[in-house]
Amino acid sequence: MSEKASVLLVGAGGVGAIAALNLDTGGQADVTAVLRSSYEKVVNEGLHIKSIDHGEIQGWRPSNVLNKIPSRTEKEFDYVVLATKNIADHHPTPAELIEPAVVPGKTVIVLIQNGLNIEKPFLSKFPDNICLSGVSMIGSHETSPAFIEHEDSDRLIVGAFKNPNFSKGKQEQVAQEFVKIYGAGGKTVCTFTDNVLYDRWQKLVYNACLNTICAVTGLDTGRMRLADDAVSTLVRPAMNEIVTAAYACGIELPEDIVQRMIDVDPLTIYFKPSMLEDVQRGNLTEFENLLGEPLREGTARGVAMPTATFFYHTLKAMQWKFKEQKGLIDIPPKTA
Amino acid sequence: MSEKASVLLVGAGGVGAIAALNLDTGGQADVTAVLRSSYEKVVNEGLHIKSIDHGEIQGWRPSNVLNKIPSRTEKEFDYVVLATKNIADHHPTPAELIEPAVVPGKTVIVLIQNGLNIEKPFLSKFPDNICLSGVSMIGSHETSPAFIEHEDSDRLIVGAFKNPNFSKGKQEQVAQEFVKIYGAGGKTVCTFTDNVLYDRWQKLVYNACLNTICAVTGLDTGRMRLADDAVSTLVRPAMNEIVTAAYACGIELPEDIVQRMIDVDPLTIYFKPSMLEDVQRGNLTEFENLLGEPLREGTARGVAMPTATFFYHTLKAMQWKFKEQKGLIDIPPKTA
């Protein structure tokens, strides 16, 4: 295949910008990026990237930069790669967002996003398109608009979500094709998996528990480990519930997964997980996909998940607050 | 009794300032107030009080104003009235704080503070002193140093905590004496109770639940009622647990107490309970007496209290964070 694949990449934050750079570096993809907050800056000055994989790059741009999702009538993309946050309880949902660009029967949708059941709205809206899972282990942040600090190497695990309208073989072939394009530059580790749920549940042991509990309590992961019995009373019980839910869903996680996820961030970097950052900025959180979905899958199978349930309802109340603060919810005026 | 009672009043925030004013207005007490943050301002300018009971008063001072607890060798007070917050897990504890001023066998200790088991450290430290309970239903706030906004009438319920070294009759007589002194000005409703635990548990239905859940989620009581299912999933279960714990401790609360406490603040004033204000200011919270003690009393009697347990551990982690932020806890230095 000498012709480059056309990729529409949506969201160039910490994850998306490095994904764009990886795809570009490999030389097998022509990347069009859709940006929101950093659009003007990237058009005028390009991205400034400090990357453990790519070195320091100033003024870099994807082949094309847009500020809205283009229509399929303008250009038919081979891939739409979504690297935005996934706020399931807010419109437009990610599936609604990319709808204009998806060519039925052609465009491959790649979700480099966290959480469980994120593919369901896509499979439902785009039954004739293959949908791939990307689980990213990257440590990369947009510390200011168009400035990306990429501190921990990009490792992307790609597989196919199960679309019943395609054969397993066909979907896996498409996933492996994307792995080849993504890893072609040799600067990153992109691997294929035939079990996307395994990788998603594994990451949920961190994201449904440590990420959410840091967000609610306001502690980073280092302080969480130092704070008296916070790990034993909150984090470990929540993680055990997620491991049991995974098992009930047919995913047997490694025996040491709980301790490994508790210790995964070096203590003294005092790492703030994404949801804690969102909460501190008053942003909507991904709590539905990171916690709500594993909670629903587990409880539907009879798993007792009291800790996860409490944090879910707490984060739901916080999400309401953030929506109200953003003017997305109207409340009666204040009286004296 | 023509001679005035000598009262050392500790803490002149929203509750304490109005208590000082009430005692002064009645003419039966000579009030010495111990202030911390507002000391200079009160000495120089006096208090500025806007009170629903007393009207607007500028430049008012108690008879004496001190900036530290005086020693019993300087003056023997008849009463030490504590109207500070009660942070049980931080030194000096309230009992440690007033220790220099307490005359064994003489000083009556009055705790106008919330929560359960607050008398225990006092009975243990001062076995020869009578200790009174004051449950305050006041709506009063120190909105800036030495400026008090008192918007909801002062109603104080006074009784005696059980000190086994005194007869019930003696202790109740002392409580009724204080009721007379406090209510003598006629501007406030001060009543005697022979069942202080009843009033404390009743108030805990609000303070152990709505107050704590507002603090964790960041919602005020009005928004809590508007926020989807926050009341049904968080507030009501927590309140039911507290009511059951009270019952296990021999206190049968009114049947409608849960709904009454949910609705107690008018919705559209969007009232921020004290612990929410503390959390937003990064202050230590009274979570041990407001939630920890009722939780321990209930669970010790076999009451299942999962919601209260969850919020307790969450607030404990948050308390650790506030202590660390205030430099009360040292942590290893941050590494790159």
User: Residue A333: inside a domain, yes or no?
Assistant: no
B50 and B183 in one domain?
yes
Q: Using beta carbons and an 8 Å cutoff, which residues of B are at the interface with A?
A: 213, 216-219, 222-224, 226-230, 233-234, 266-270, 306-307, 310-311, 313-314, 316-318, 320-321, 324, 331-336
B23 and B148 in one domain?
yes
Integer Cα distance of B45 and A33 in angstroms: 63
The candidate with the shortest Cα–Cα distance to A147, out of A18, A279, A9, A282, is: A18
Count Cβ atoms below 10 Å from residue A42 Cβ, excluding itself. Answer: 23
User: Residue A295: inside a domain, yes or no?
Assistant: yes
pLDDT for position A152: 83
pLDDT for position A287: 98
Count Cβ atoms below 10 Å from residue A282 Cβ, excluding itself. Answer: 12
- Quote the DSSP letter at residue B133: E
B279 and B134 in one domain?
no
A211 and A153 in one domain?
no
Query: pLDDT tens digits, residue range B218-234?
Result: 999 999 999 999 999 99
Query: pLDDT tens digits, residue range A187-222?
Result: 889 999 999 999 999 999 999 999 999 999 999 999
pLDDT for position B2: 54
- B309 burial level (CB within 10 Å; 0-12, 13-18, 19+): buried
User: Residue A334: inside a domain, yes or no?
Assistant: no
B62 and B170 in one domain?
yes
B248 and B313 in one domain?
yes
Phi, psi for residue A97 in degrees, rounded to 5: -60, -45
Count how many domains chain A has. 2
Cis peptide before B164 (omega within 30 of 0): no
B190 and B66 in one domain?
yes
Q: Using beta carbons and an 8 Å cutoff, which residues of A are at the interface with B?
A: 213, 216-219, 222-224, 226-230, 233-234, 266-270, 306-307, 310-311, 313-314, 316-318, 320-321, 324, 331-336
What chain A residue is nearest to B280 in terms of C-alpha separation?
A218
A164 and A42 in one domain?
yes
Judge whether residue B7 has pLDDT over 70. Answer: yes
B218 and B256 in one domain?
yes
Q: Are A268 and B332 in contact (CB < 8 Å)?
A: yes
User: Residue B336: inside a domain, yes or no?
Assistant: no
Contact B17, B177 (CB under 8 A): no
Query: pLDDT tens digits, residue range B281-290?
Result: 999 999 999 9
A320 Cα to chain B: minimum distance (Å): 6
User: Residue A306: inside a domain, yes or no?
Assistant: yes
Q: How are the residues of chain A apportioned to helix, strand and coil, as percentages rounded to the nearest 5?
A: 45, 20, 35
- Quote the DSSP letter at residue A147: E
Of B194, B209, B226, the residue at which a domain comes to its end is B194
Of B168, B194, B220, the residue at which a domain comes to its end is B194
A136 and A58 in one domain?
yes
Which two structure tokens, joined as six digits, stand for A116?
A: 């469980």
User: Residue A264: inside a domain, yes or no?
Assistant: yes
Per the rule left: phi > 0, alpha: psi between -120 and 50, beta: everything else, B242 is alpha
Best of B269, B321, B325 to substitute, by most chain A Cβ atoms within 10 angstroms, is B321
Per the rule left: phi > 0, alpha: psi between -120 and 50, beta: everything else, B59 is left
Q: Domain with A275 in it: what CATH number?
A: 1.10.1040.10
Count Cβ atoms below 10 Å from residue B257 Cβ, excluding itself. Answer: 18
Of B142, B163, B194, the residue at which a domain comes to its end is B194
Q: Are A331 and B223 in contact (CB < 8 Å)?
A: yes
- Residue B160 three-state SS: strand
Contact B190, B158 (CB under 8 A): yes
Q: Domain with A42 in it: what CATH number?
A: 3.40.50.720
Contact B90, B21 (CB under 8 A): no
- Quote the DSSP letter at residue A101: G
Judge whether residue A137 has pLDDT over 90. Answer: no
User: Residue A331: inside a domain, yes or no?
Assistant: no
Integer Cα distance of A37 and B134 in angstroms: 55
Range of the domain at B145: 5-194
What chain A residue is nearest to B316 in terms of C-alpha separation?
A230
B237 and B181 in one domain?
no
User: Residue A332: inside a domain, yes or no?
Assistant: no
B233 and B145 in one domain?
no
Average pLDDT value for residue range A169-177:
98
Angle between helices B168-183 and B14-26 (to 10 degrees): 90
Judge whether residue A2 has pLDDT over 60. Answer: no
